[in-house]
């Protein structure tokens, strides 16, 4: 879950990292006030959950407070990589002598956190790694041994930095490593970390990502930063359909019937589980089908939960039929899903035999499940029909219908 | 032969009195597993389907003798501690079923396991099975369903999805291919044991003649496997199925498992398929093509 720059900097400030003077403005006039408080040249930066702001023109400079309102109004509407800006950060603009890059992230292969440091900051780090590999260091560190500054020192020193610069940088880099581990982050990045003409080191830009799984552990911090419980900070904001899907899932703790993602097709999908849904979604699309949604059921959801999910999908505009499909199930019971889906169709005022294009869930309690489907005249199949073939039958039925 | 578990594997279930753990204990016992004890703090003296419950792993080991394995089935907030407890009491194989464990805690578990010479499977997995021998975890579900989907044989299966492990085994079984050992390796971004880390075990197992894997977008696990195969001139033909191809166009959106997200080019299915094919791994378009591809590869190998 990505933090905005101003939220990341607030976290850095609390942990004692050096920052320039400034704060966030939500109104044009406020931008002028902040600039007046700072009393010198400022930079205005769009607060958006994406890189590439400079290129998009969402970062501007002002020499006087009076220039700020117009620049604020110019920046705020700019979308950067499809992301809307929330506000504008107004900060002091300081003459920079040198820029550094520091980031801490996870290396899934080594299963350790990795510290990346470069004395060529401010530009694309991948490019620096390609063109000037001697200016980038990569250092894995332990998650169970006490964290001490020597790792930061070695990482910085490996790029050729020495003298007072090394000694000034070490505590900053070390603190970033600690922040990363303390807050269950998946990314903590400062780029650039600047050495100013006056010798100070400050964080010019940076951001952090908090692991979604660790949200509940850090609720207090999130509240203090003003990050709402409903903010997913995914690549795009959830749609009302997706929010309704989340509510269906959260209303009942038994099993999963959620992770609903909206698409614009005519075939509603009641599919599962994690891997099965990915496989089935591909299978529908490969055979020319147009899914209305993605979703995951699993962990043996209750009849009610499967019913509500079915109703939600059937109520989505443009949905003509639904396909109910999973891989061979072990924990989820076929009969319970069958009962829930049939109930959902009936409560939506639809004939299950008409609206369910195919039911393909083999596995635990399948005989009981198939009996229910037979009673309502729903077309079903067992494991002898592959997931791909079942998806194809559903797509073919829609073709015949429209 | 098989890898990691056999009918002689003595293991425990941590969190044994929880709803899901009670079910999997029953299913594993019915399938022939030797579960010698269970752990739930404060519940010592009870039993779950005849399996004695203790307060801590130390007590199980003291009363029942050494154990080789543990299935950890406790809530996310208690998982790291449970795994540490297993490792420090000499357990060598730890299957972590729990989902939603933060990455840092997984990394800590893995690091301690490495120091002590233990192996973690998971988190966020359904465990593993050597068909006809034993299983650890919820893989395959009730014993009758498990016996229907899994048969003893020569194919090793590794999967990032628990459910798809059974779908693939069932497809192999229907085509006449039994399995040596099937491992649900887990769906998280950091897991205890990757494809490449299981390969040496399959390589050394005389029963295993080919490998089927299920894979997804996200992570570097497939690249790691491809490198391993090239570097070690593996004797085992590998057939992979890649799900989630639609995600290549949907950067930053998470689908399926916690580890399944496209953040860079290396995370895409297209890139993974290219790397695996370059290493001689056959990539199936559909699950039902896996048996045919395995047959072809085995025939080529003579």
For residue A118, the cross-strand partners are: A101, A136
Residue whose pair of structure tokens reads 């009962």 in the numeric block: A339
Per-residue pLDDT at B215: 97
DSSP per residue over A108-154, as a string? Answer: TTTTEEEEEEESS-SS-HHHHHHH-GGGEEEEE--SSSPP-THHHHH
Helix (H, G, I), strand (E, B) or coil at A256: strand
Per-residue pLDDT at A401: 53
Q: Which structure tokens are listed for A127?
A: 């490019």
Q: Which residue of chain A is at minimal alpha-carbon distance from B101? A: A213
Under DSSP, the state recorded for A4 is P
- Residue-wise pLDDT tens digits, A82-113: 888 999 999 999 899 999 999 999 999 999 99
Chain A closest-CA separation from residue B24 CA (Å): 10
Angle ∠(A144,A148,A149) on CA atoms, nearest 5: 145
Regions in chain B scoring below 50 on pLDDT: none
Whether residues A330 and B187 touch (CB distance < 8 A) is answered with: no
Find, among B109, B102, B107, B56, the residue nearest to B80 by Cα.
B109
Contact of B36 with B10, CB cutoff 8 Å: yes
Contact of B24 with B143, CB cutoff 8 Å: no
Contact of B1 with B207, CB cutoff 8 Å: yes
Angle ∠(B269,B166,B260) on CA atoms, nearest 5: 30
Contact of A261 with A309, CB cutoff 8 Å: no
Find, among B128, B151, B147, B287, the residue nearest to B198 by Cα.
B128
Cα–Cα distances (Å) from A233 to A79, A211, A228, A230, in that order, read 16, 11, 10, 9
Contacts of residue A181 in chain B, CB cutoff 8 Å?
104
Whether residues B174 and A330 touch (CB distance < 8 A) is answered with: no
Find, among B74, B112, B73, the residue nearest to B90 by Cα.
B112
Chain B closest-CA separation from residue A95 CA (Å): 33
Contacts of residue B149 in chain A, CB cutoff 8 Å?
328, 363
DSSP per residue over B229-251, as a string? Answer: HHHHT-SS-EEEEE--GGGGG-T
Find, among A234, A235, A257, the residue nearest to A246 by Cα.
A257
For residue A100, the cross-strand partners are: A193
pTM: 0.95
Among A105, A328, A383, A386, the strongest candidate for a mutation testing the B interface, having the largest count of B CBs within 10 A, is A328
Which residues of B are designated catalytic? 257
Whether residues B216 and A294 touch (CB distance < 8 A) is answered with: no
Q: What are phi and psi of A208, to 5 degrees?
A: -130, 155
Chain centroid to CA A289: 27
For A327-391, give the secondary structure using H, E and C. Answer: CCECCCCHHHHHHHHHHHHHHCCCCHHHHEEEEECCECCHHHHHHHHHHCCCCECCCCCCHHHHH
Under DSSP, the state recorded for A235 is S
Whether residues B111 and A386 touch (CB distance < 8 A) is answered with: no
Contacts of residue A272 in chain B, CB cutoff 8 Å?
163
Regions in chain A scoring below 50 on pLDDT: none
Contacts of residue B243 in chain A, CB cutoff 8 Å?
275, 278-279, 282
Q: Which structure tokens are listed for A114?
A: 């990795």
Residues 194-223 of A with CB under 8 A from B: 211-214, 217
By DSSP bridging, strand B238-242 and strand B282-284 are parallel
Q: What are phi and psi of A27, to 5 degrees?
A: -130, 155
Contacts of residue B224 in chain A, CB cutoff 8 Å?
109
Sequence-distant (6+) residues with CB within 8 A of A303 are A336, A339, A340, A343
Helix (H, G, I), strand (E, B) or coil at B73: coil
Cα–Cα distances (Å) from A97 to A94, A270, B211, in that order, read 10, 58, 56
Whether residues A142 and B258 touch (CB distance < 8 A) is answered with: no
Among A255, A327, A383, the strongest candidate for a mutation testing the B interface, having the largest count of B CBs within 10 A, is A327
Chain B closest-CA separation from residue A1 CA (Å): 11
Could you say which of B145, B214, B286 has the minimum Cβ distance to residue A275?
Answer: B214
Q: Which residue of chain B is at minimal alpha-carbon distance from A108? A: B190
Contact of A255 with A332, CB cutoff 8 Å: yes
For residue A112, the cross-strand partners are: A107
- Residue-wise pLDDT tens digits, B102-135: 999 999 999 999 999 999 999 999 999 999 999 9
Q: Where are the alpha helices (DSSP H) in A28-67?
A: 28-38, 53-56
Whether residues A279 and B164 touch (CB distance < 8 A) is answered with: yes
Per-residue pLDDT at A400: 61
Helix (H, G, I), strand (E, B) or coil at B58: helix
Q: Which residue of chain B is at minimal alpha-carbon distance from A126? A: B264
Q: End-to-end CA distance of chain B: give it in Å, rounded.
A: 22
Contact of B102 with A211, CB cutoff 8 Å: yes
Q: Which residue of chain B is at minimal alpha-carbon distance from A300? A: B20
Chain A closest-CA separation from residue B224 CA (Å): 8
Residue whose pair of structure tokens reads 């079915």 in the numeric block: A310
Could you say which of A108, A326, A386 has the minimum Cβ distance to residue B189?
Answer: A108
Helix (H, G, I), strand (E, B) or coil at A364: coil
Cis amide linkage into residue B256, ω under 30° from 0: no
Cis amide linkage into residue A273, ω under 30° from 0: yes
A232/B254 Cα distance (integer angstroms): 11
- Residue-wise pLDDT tens digits, B17-71: 999 999 999 999 999 999 999 999 999 999 999 999 999 999 999 999 999 999 9
Contacts of residue A106 in chain B, CB cutoff 8 Å?
103, 107, 189-190
Helix (H, G, I), strand (E, B) or coil at A346: helix
Could you say which of A184, A277, A294 has the minimum Cβ distance to residue B104?
Answer: A184
Q: What are phi and psi of A139, to 5 degrees?
A: -130, 115
Find, among B122, B191, B130, B183, the residue nearest to B157 by Cα.
B183
Q: Which residue of chain B is at minimal alpha-carbon distance from A143? A: B108
Helix (H, G, I), strand (E, B) or coil at A249: helix
Cα–Cα distances (Å) from B18 to A396, B14, B15, B39, in that order, read 44, 9, 6, 10
Whether residues B220 and A108 touch (CB distance < 8 A) is answered with: yes
Whether residues B103 and A217 touch (CB distance < 8 A) is answered with: no
Residues 344-373 of A with CB under 8 A from B: 362-364
CB pairs under 8 A between A and B: 167
A186 touches chain B (CB under 8 A): yes
Find, among B56, B92, B96, B58, the residue nearest to B76 by Cα.
B96
Q: Which residue of chain B is at minimal alpha-carbon distance from A326? A: B163
Q: Which residue of chain B is at minimal alpha-carbon distance from A81? A: B251
Contacts of residue A296 in chain B, CB cutoff 8 Å?
256
Whether residues A108 and B287 touch (CB distance < 8 A) is answered with: no
């Amino acid at each position: 879950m990505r933090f905005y720059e101003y939220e990341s900097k607030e976290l850095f400030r609390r942990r004692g990292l050096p920052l320039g003077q400034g704060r966030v403005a939500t109104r044009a006039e406020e931008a002028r006030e902040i600039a007046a408080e700072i009393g010198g040249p400022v930079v205005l930066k769009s607060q958006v959950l994406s890189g590439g702001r400079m290129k998009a023109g969402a970062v501007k400079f002002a020499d006087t407070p009076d220039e700020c309102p117009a620049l604020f109004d110019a920046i705020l509407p700019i979308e950067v990589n499809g992301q809307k800006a929330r506000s504008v950060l107004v900060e002091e603009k300081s003459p920079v002598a040198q820029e550094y890059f520091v980031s801490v992230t996870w290396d899934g292969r080594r299963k350790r956190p990795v510290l990346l440091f470069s004395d060529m900051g401010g530009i694309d780090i991948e490019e620096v790694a390609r063109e000037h590999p001697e200016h980038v260091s990569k250092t894995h560190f332990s998650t169970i041994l006490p964290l001490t500054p020597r790792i930061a020192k070695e990482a910085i020193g490996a790029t050729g930095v020495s003298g007072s610069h090394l000694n000034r940088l070490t505590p900053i880099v070390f603190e970033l490593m600690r922040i990363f581990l303390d807050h269950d982050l998946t990314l903590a990045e400062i780029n650039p970390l600047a050495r100013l003409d006056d010798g100070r080191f400050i964080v010019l830009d940076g951001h952090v990502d908090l692991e979604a799984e660790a949200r509940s552990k850090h609720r207090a911090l999130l509240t203090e930063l003003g990050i709402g419980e409903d903010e997913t900070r995914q690549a795009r904001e959830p749609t009302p359909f997706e929010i309704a899907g989340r509510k269906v899932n959260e209303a009942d703790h038994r099993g999963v019937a959620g992770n609903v993602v909206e698409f614009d097709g005519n075939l509603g999908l009641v599919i599962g589980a994690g891997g099965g849904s990915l496989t089935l979604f591909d299978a529908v699309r490969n055979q020319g089908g147009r899914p209305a949604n993605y979703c995951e059921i699993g962990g043996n959801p209750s009849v009610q939960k499967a019913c509500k999910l079915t109703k939600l999908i059937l109520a989505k505009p443009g949905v003509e039929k639904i396909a109910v499909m999973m891989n061979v199930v072990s924990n989820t019971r076929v009969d319970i899903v069958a009962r829930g889906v049939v109930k959902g169709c009936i409560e939506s005022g639809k004939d299950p035999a008409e609206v369910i294009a195919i039911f393909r869930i083999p596995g635990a309690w399948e005989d009981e499940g198939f009996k229910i489907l037979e009673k309502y005249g729903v077309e079903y199949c067992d494991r002898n029909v592959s997931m791909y073939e079942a998806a194809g039958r559903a797509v073919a039925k829609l073709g015949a219908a429209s | 032969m098989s890898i990691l578990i056999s009918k002689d594997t003595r293991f425990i279930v941590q969190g044994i009195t929880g709803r899901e753990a009670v079910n999997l204990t029953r299913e594993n016992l019915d399938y022939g597993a030797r579960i010698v004890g269970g752990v739930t703090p404060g519940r010592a003296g009870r039993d779950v389907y005849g399996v004695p419950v203790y307060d801590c792993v130390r007590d199980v080991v003291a009363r029942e003798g050494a154990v080789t394995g543990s299935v950890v089935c406790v809530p996310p907030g208690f998982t790291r501690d449970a795994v540490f407890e297993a490792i420090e009491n000499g357990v060598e194989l730890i299957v972590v079923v729990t989902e939603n464990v933060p990455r840092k805690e997984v990394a800590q578990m893995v690091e301690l396991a490495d120091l002590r010479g233990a192996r973690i499977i998971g988190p966020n997995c359904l465990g593993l099975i050597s068909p006809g021998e034993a299983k650890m975890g919820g893989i395959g579900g009730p014993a009758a369903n498990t016996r229907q989907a899994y048969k003893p044989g020569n194919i090793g299966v590794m999967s990032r999805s628990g459910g798809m492990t059974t779908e693939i085994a069932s497809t192999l079984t229907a085509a006449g291919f039994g399995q040596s050992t099937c491992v649900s390796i887990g769906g998280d971004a950091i897991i205890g044991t990757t494809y490449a880390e299981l390969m040496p075990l399959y390589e050394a197992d005389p029963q295993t003649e080919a490998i089927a894997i299920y894979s997804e977008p996200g992570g570097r696990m497939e690249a790691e496997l491809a490198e391993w195969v090239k570097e070690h001139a593996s004797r085992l033909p590998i057939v992979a199925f890649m799900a989630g191809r639609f995600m290549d166009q949907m950067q930053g959106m998470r689908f399926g498992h916690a580890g399944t997200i496209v953040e860079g080019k290396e995370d895409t299915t297209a890139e993974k398929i290219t790397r695996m094919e370059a290493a001689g791994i056959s990539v199936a378009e559909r699950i039902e093509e896996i048996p045919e591809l395995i047959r072809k590869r085995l025939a080529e190998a003579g």
